[in-house]
Amino acid sequence: MSLLTGRTAVITGGAQGIGLAIAQVFVEQGARVVLGDLNLDAAEAAAKELGGPDVARAARCDVTGAADVQALVDTATAAFGSLDVMVNNAGITRDATMRTMTEEAFDQVIDVHLKGTWNGVRIAAAVMREQKSGAIVNISSLSGKVGMVGQTNYSAAKAGIVGMSKAAAKEMAHHGVRINAIQPGLIRSAMTEAMPQRAWDQKMAEIPMRRAGEPGEVASVALFLASDLSSYMTGTVLEVTGGRFM
């Protein structure tokens, strides 16, 4: 039997990148998935690629709105009968130095990452506590551990996700719900590969393993936290960084 056979997972920001990689690994391990994303067309295409409606569904979701997140969770329970795993992955960047960052850019990043994760945690937890089981995986970032230049908004939000995960884990542990977080480092994607070569080289020099990570390497850690392999773990933060900033 696969690690997630018979379980249903919701993944925000699931149409591409790390979110889609997580969905792919979950489906390979027997899960049915619901992909939430602002880009419904991309989410529907991804769901089709994953195996169609018997295995994967898509829904448009703006995680900053509780009604959208509730509808996403309702889609999972209506289509597949349960909610066993929630992955709060949706995110954006609006990088700028403090001197040039607008208040709007600060608020947008905090809303999507921090409020969006809070919406996902509390709405999923409300379902999971009734069934006395469930795993929630929150995607933080190495930027939330060390802080990055030009990311006062993003670093603050990602650090906040760590604190939120630990507090929620304490609240939900006796209900049988586990809540953990992942802090990815430099992960290969269209966005990171578009950065200037000098910036890429600087980041690579900070990584003891001397390479960027792949989305699948984050996905495998999400699988571990979603499955019974991590049954005695809650409130933890796992770094997927190649050793950067140990």
154 is catalytic: yes
* CA distance readout (Å), 57 to 26, 84, 126, 184, 214: 13, 15, 21, 26, 25
AA letter at 105: A
Q: What is the largest CA-CA distance in the chain?
A: 54
Whole-angstrom distance, CA of residue 237 vs CA of residue 88: 14
Q: For residue 70, what are its two tokens?
A: 């509730």
Which value, in Å, is the radius of gyration of the alpha carbons in the chain? 17
User: Which three-class secondary structure state does DSSP give residue 238?
Assistant: strand
Task: Supply the angle between the helices 40-50 and 17-28 in degrees, to the nearest 10.
Answer: 30
Marked catalytic residue, from 26, 80, 118, 154: 154
Q: For residue 155, what are its two tokens?
A: 């670093």
Count the alpha carbons within 13 Å of 170 in the hemisphere toward its beta carbon. 5
Catalytic residues: 154
